[in-house]
Every structure is written in structure tokens, then in C-alpha cells.
């Protein structure tokens, strides 16, 4: 992502810290079995932009803007960053199984290469390794908080599965699904990082809300890209949500707006998995733009949470990350 000049002073520090996080990630997943190592090395490419580790490190720096560096705090934040990335990786591996996806980050998914059984076990290995690594931080509350967060992730997935094919899905249920599936992890990145960095509870809660709202906006953009994105740029199989009967926000809004003849046409496109026709229908009611507007609302709300932070390169970067959530094409 392109960052403004105000964040230049932070970019070198962040590059070093993310390098440390990547090494922690790799060491924690190294196993005495070559079969396991082959798989974990394959999913390392899923790390992509490392958004969640970036949120952890940046939030931890932002809440200590006028405090001296603390090596112990930074080490703990780096560990948390590696932990949340492992949890995120586990959800991607499991999602690819549920969605029968063939492509992730421009490469073959584990399930397409080795089958669902192997992919499920790899996802379990990743999340188990995450909690093992987290135990080294020495803060029982952190393990408990991450356990509660992963429970919400799983509950969100179950809620979404229970609504597959539900053409009457309302936006309240949709937002609860994506809050749990995507928002709570990004919220944990910022809220838990702030607590590890010694911020007061009220500031930790504001950072958690920033992350959660950012995560929701990020997921809405994913929904939009699933309809209008370029698979070569996005780097993953598109149209999966439609084929799996999972209604995304542009479609939810469209079905609530269109009259009977148009609704029947749209439902037919959904049931046949015709992304091109459905996109035409969604655009005809302005629902794609309406979904973008909702994403913008969450970005504005998220950025507003940061007003309590001291102005710094780190707080500016958090603002920039929020804006970038809507600008991305992958």
C-alpha cells in the first residue's frame, strides 16, 4: 500500500518488525516431520500483505507514541502478531475446504493439491501452533481473549452456513456474520496489542472497535471484488460466494430493492451461478454503489475512533490503512 510522507519514519521500523514476525511464524511452524513442513511452507505464501500483523505492531506503537521503546513489549507484540497471522491462516485453509476453492494468493490451495482431509488437519495444526506460541508470552488473559475471539470466528462461520441459500437474508444478519468472521480478528489485533503495550482499558476498547469496523469494511470490499474483481489480480477463485449460496452485501441490498420481475431474474442468476448476469442486475439498482457507501461508513467510523491518539506516524498509518481497505483490488 502507498503511505503518505508522514509515515516514512515508521516504514523502516515496521519492515524490520514484520521481518521478525515472519521468522517467528516460520520457527513456530517448523516440525520434525517433512510432510508437515512441506505444507506449512506452502501456506506461507498466504501471508500476503500481512495486514493483521501490521495492525498489531502499529497499534502497539501508536498507543506508546510519547513513551521510550521497551524491548520486552515489542517482543510480546511481535509474538502476538505471529499468533494472529497463524489464526488467520488457519481460517483461510478451512475456508478453502468449505468453499472448494482451487486458488489462493495466485497459487493452488492445499485442498486442491492434497485433499480436504489434509487441509482440515493443516488448519488445525496452524491454530494449535498459534496457541502454543502465545503461551510463551506469559499472559494467561491473552490466551483467554484469543480463545474467545476464535470461538466467535467459528460461530460466525456456523451462522453463515446456516443461511446458505437464504434469499431472504437481511442486512442485520449479514453484518453479524461478517463482524464475527472478519471483524473480531482485526479488532483483537488492535485491542489486544494496545493492552499488551500498557494502554488504559478505554483506549484499548477504542482501538478494538477501530479494528473491528476496519475488518467489516475490508469484508464488504471482498464481497464487491467477488463480483467485479479480476481473478488474476485478486489472486483467488471468484464467484465462490454465489455458487455456495452465500449472499454478499451487494446482493442482499439488491434483492431488498428490486421488484418482482427483476427479483425473479436475479434469483435465477444466483441459482445458475451466473456472475455476469447478476452483476448487471445488481448494478441496475445501484446496489454495488450502495455497498461501497456502507463500507465507507465503517471506514469513517473506524477512523473516528483514533481521534484520542496522540498524532504520530503510527496513528497516521492506522488512518491510512483504513482508507486503503476501500482502494484495494486484491
88 against 103, higher pLDDT? 88
CB atoms within 10 A of CB 31: 14
Residue 3: pLDDT band by 50, 70, 90 thresholds? Answer: very low
Residues facing residue 107 across a β-bridge: 104
Across residues 217-230, what is the average pLDDT?
87
Alpha-carbon Rg for the chain, nearest whole angstrom, is: 20
Asked if 41 and 126 touch (Cβ cutoff 8 Å), the reply is: no
Q: What's the CA gap between 47 and 330, in Å, rounded? A: 13
Q: What's the CA gap between 214 and 218, in Å, rounded? A: 6
Across residues 191-210, what is the average pLDDT?
98
Q: Kindly tell me if the per-residue pLDDT of 243 is higher than 90.
A: no
Q: For residue 314, what is the enclosing H or E element?
A: helix 313-327
Q: Kindly tell me if the per-residue pLDDT of 32 is higher than 50.
A: yes
Residue 231: pLDDT band by 50, 70, 90 thresholds? Answer: low
Asked if 84 and 126 touch (Cβ cutoff 8 Å), the reply is: no
Q: How does pLDDT run across 95-154, given as a tens digit for each residue?
A: 999 888 888 777 889 999 999 999 999 999 999 999 999 999 999 999 999 999 999 999
Q: What's the CA gap between 81 and 68, in Å, rounded? A: 21
How many C-alpha atoms does 19 have within 13 Å on its Cβ side? 6
Domain boundaries, the chain: 5-327
Across residues 259-269, what is the average pLDDT?
89
Angle between helices 201-228 and 313-327 (to 10 degrees): 30
Residue 327 is predicted with a pLDDT of 86
Asked if 248 and 223 touch (Cβ cutoff 8 Å), the reply is: yes
CB atoms within 10 A of CB 70: 14
Residue 154 is predicted with a pLDDT of 96
First vs last C-alpha separation in the chain? 11
Superfamily of segment(s) 5-327:
Farnesyl Diphosphate Synthase (1.10.600.10)
Residue 6: pLDDT band by 50, 70, 90 thresholds? Answer: low
The DSSP code for 307 is G
Q: How does pLDDT run across 33-49, given as a tens digit for each residue?
A: 999 999 999 988 777 78
Residue 58: pLDDT band by 50, 70, 90 thresholds? Answer: very high
Task: Indicate the range of 112-116, 166-170, 235-239 predicted with least confidence.
Answer: 235-239
Closest alpha carbon to 40 in 114, 99, 141, 147: 114
Across residues 299-322, what is the average pLDDT?
96
* Proportion of the chain in helix, strand, coil states, percent, rounded to 5: 80, 0, 20
Residue 2 is predicted with a pLDDT of 45
Which residues lie below 8 Å from residue 242, measured CB to CB, with a gap of 6+?
226, 251, 270, 273, 275, 278
Amino acid at each position: 500500500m502507498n503511505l503518505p510522507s508522514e509515515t516514512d519514519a515508521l516504514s523502516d521500523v515496521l519492515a524490520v518488525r514484520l521481518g521478525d514476525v515472519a521468522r517467528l511464524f516460520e520457527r513456530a511452524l517448523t516440525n520434525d516431520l517433512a510432510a508437515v513442513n512441506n505444507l506449512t511452507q506452502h501456506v506461507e505464501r498466504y501471508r500476503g500483505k500481512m495486514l493483521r500483523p501490521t495492525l498489531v505492531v502499529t497499534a502497539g506503537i501508536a498507543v506508546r507514541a510519547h513513551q521510550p521503546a521497551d524491548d520486552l513489549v515489542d517482543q510480546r507484540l511481535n509474538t502476538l502478531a505471529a499468533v494472529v497471522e497463524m489464526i488467520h491462516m488457519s481460517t483461510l485453509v478451512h475456508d478453502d475446504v468449505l468453499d472448494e476453492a482451487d486458488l489462493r494468493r495466485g497459487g493452488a490451495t492445499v485442498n486442491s493439491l492434497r485433499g480436504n482431509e489434509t487441509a482440515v488437519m493443516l488448519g488445525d495444526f496452524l491454530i494449535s501452533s498459534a496457541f502454543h506460541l502465545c503461551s510463551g508470552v506469559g499472559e494467561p488473559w491473552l490466551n483467554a481473549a484469543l480463545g474467545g475471539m476464535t470461538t466467535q470466528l467459528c460461530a460466525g462461520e456456523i451462522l453463515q452456513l446456516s443461511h446458505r441459500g437464504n434469499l431472504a437474508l437481511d442486512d442485520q444478519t449479514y453484518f453479524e456474520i461478517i463482524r464475527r468472521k472478519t471483524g473480531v480478528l482485526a479488532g483483537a489485533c488492535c485491542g489486544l496489542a494496545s493492552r499488551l503495550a500498557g494502554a488504559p482499558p478505554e483506549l484499548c476498547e477504542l482501538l478494538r472497535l477501530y479494528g473491528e469496523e476496519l475488518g467489516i469494511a475490508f469484508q464488504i470490499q471482498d464481497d464487491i471484488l467477488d463480483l467485479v474483481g479480476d481473478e488474476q489480480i485478486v489472486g483467488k477463485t471468484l464467484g465462490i460466494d454465489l455458487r455456495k449460496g452465500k449472499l454478499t452485501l451487494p446482493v442482499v441490498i439488491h434483492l431488498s430493492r428490486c421488484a418482482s420481475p427483476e427479483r425473479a431474474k436475479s434469483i435465477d442468476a444466483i441459482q445458475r451461478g451466473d456472475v455476469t448476469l447478476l452483476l448487471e442486475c445488481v448494478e441496475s439498482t445501484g446496489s454495488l454503489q450502495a455497498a461501497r457507501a456502507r463500507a465507507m461508513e465503517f471506514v469513517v467510523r473506524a477512523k473516528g475512533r483514533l481521534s484520542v491518539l496522540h498524532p504520530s506516524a503510527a496513528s497516521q498509518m492506522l488512518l491510512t490503512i483504513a482508507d486503503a481497505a476501500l482502494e484495494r483490488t486484491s
